[in-house]
Structure 1
Amino acid sequence: MTLISTRALTKRFGKVTAVEDLTVDVAPGVVGLVGANGAGKSTLLKMLLGLVQPTSGSAQLLDLDVATQGTDIRERVGYMPEHDCLPPDVSATEFVVHMARMSGLPTTAARERSADILRHVGLYEERYRPMGGYSTGMRQRVKLAQALVHDPDLVMLDEPTNGLDPAGRDDMLGLIRRIGAEFGISVLVTSHLLGELERVCESVVVIDGGRLLRHSSTVEMTTETTALLVEVDGEVAPLAALLGQHGVPTRSQGRQLEMQLDDDALYDLVRDGVAGLGLGLVRIERRRHRMSELFSTGGGGRADGS
């Protein structure tokens, strides 16, 4: 089964083209959809769900036609919206049970599934509190729970870490990894934070200005480069000067030095230099490509690499 298949998919709103001539085939798994704000991510999700009709072209989700089988698609998909949409005077249990019943689960099954999924997202102890008193992180977890409660084949998560502090983002990314690894549910997650997608996704679809910029596995996008990163505990300037004397130019950033790895003998030179200068060697490793480089070399858009 193909998770997503599009052919020349295009959506225009008047004179504005949100998605243009998008052709891509995406396999099941944890998939990132990345692009700067305004790149067309949300419009693409709405077309895949059958909520917005394409201007031209075609698309299939879970082997179903988005133009004619939108209802069937939405029965098999869970959706976590970006915006805050939770009623403040309702408890998490009431809300998730309601969403489960809207998805066709009988009352008893809806209550059982809601309890299980709220436990999974870490809200079991708080499940009877009105959601108006929830933190941003708790509200994001409720939105994730309602997307999972009917055991879909795919969950679409639109900017799931928005508004979260670093600890909250780490927790949410951990939950996303578990959805794919433990539940066997495919995930399509959108974000403009490229570093997050590197951590959780098996493959990534990059769009820029509504056009496909790249689609490949995360491993391919983050392969090792020929640059060597050295981080030391102490001042890097003496080490940079020493390496320069041996004809090795370096670029410094904080306590890190970056240099071109032309010969494996450089490892020995760095090791001996660090030891001779009495520095502490924190790490020495090949630098990996970052997905943010796609936007500096492959297109006109911009996304954050945090």
Structure 2
Amino acid sequence: MRHVGLYEERYRRIGGYSTGMKQRVKLAQALVHDPELLLLDEPTNGLDPAGRRAMLDLIHRIGSEFGISVVVCSHLLGEIERICTSLVAIDAGRLLRSASLSAMTEHNDQLVVEVDEDADRLAAALGAAGLDVRRGGRALTVRLGDDDGLVYDLIRDAVADLDLRLHRLERQRHQVADLFRDLPTAEVTRA
């Protein structure tokens, strides 16, 4: 009960527990026998954002501090990216990919450029400089070329010449969700 944060509540009836507390009781039941492997299916189901964070922190602690291997099944990919070190992505019973999470979320060959205003003018200036630019709201996506330094310099110079305020310039990372975005629509709806 102490490990899952319910030690002070140990004499209360479970019927009076919140959903988050009940989820932690289930986790305590799974941990009581000191397993080597813990299988968790949608461990944050029904929890509010604070409860989700607390449960994810707890799951991470179980794996890192207690030395218990944890397998989490979830459709909430952001949560998976937050707590897992390895991932097995399955769609409709078909293995999509199995690798370390860091390998799946490595940097790609695109920069995200976000400015306050006049993103259209910036996109035009970067396009005129020979860069491949795509627009998405206030953010632009610029494909890196053979000379990454030149692309950064062109963006810096264009932002300065147009007297724009730069909010973000970062190399884009792959996300776990990208595995599922690239599937044909028929395969996604079948799942």
Taking structure 1 as the reference length, what is the TM-score of the superposition?
0.55
Alignment: residue pair count: 185
* CA displacement, residues 163-199 of structure 1 (integer Å, 9 cap, x when unaligned): 2233322222211111111000000100011222122
The match for 1:242 among 125, 132, 140 is 125
Q: Secondary structure at the match of 2:88?
A: strand
Which amino acid in the other structure matches residue 301 of structure 1?
V
The CA distance in 2 between the partners of 1:164 and 1:276, in whole Å, is: 49
For 1:149-164, list aligned pairs within 5 A: 149-164=32-47
Q: 1:253 aligned to 2:136? A: yes
Counterpart position of 1:284: 169
For 1:33-182, list aligned pairs within 5 A: 118-182=1-65
Shift of 1:160: 0.7
Greater helix percent: which structure?
A: 2
In structure 2, relative to structure 1, the CA distance for the partners of 1:236 and 1:144 (3 Å cut) is farther
The CA distance in 2 between the partners of 1:247 and 1:205, in whole Å, is: 39
Percent pairwise identity: 62
The CA distance in 1 between the partners of 2:183 and 2:72, in whole Å, is: 22
In structure 2, relative to structure 1, the CA distance for the partners of 1:124 and 1:273 (3 Å cut) is farther
Shift of 1:234: 4.2
Is the 8 Å Cα contact of residues 213 and 298 (structure 1) preserved in structure 2? no
The match for 1:293 among 172, 178, 187 is 178
Taking structure 2 as the reference length, what is the TM-score of the superposition?
0.85
What is the alpha-carbon root mean square deviation over aligned residues? 2.1
The CA distance in 1 between the partners of 2:104 and 2:115, in whole Å, is: 27
Structure 1 gaps of 5+ residues are: 1-117
Superposition misfits of 4+ residues, deviation over 4 angstroms: none
Shift of 1:242: 2.3
In structure 2, relative to structure 1, the CA distance for the partners of 1:298 and 1:138 (3 Å cut) is same
In structure 2, relative to structure 1, the CA distance for the partners of 1:170 and 1:279 (3 Å cut) is farther
Which amino acid in the other structure matches residue 165 of structure 2?
G
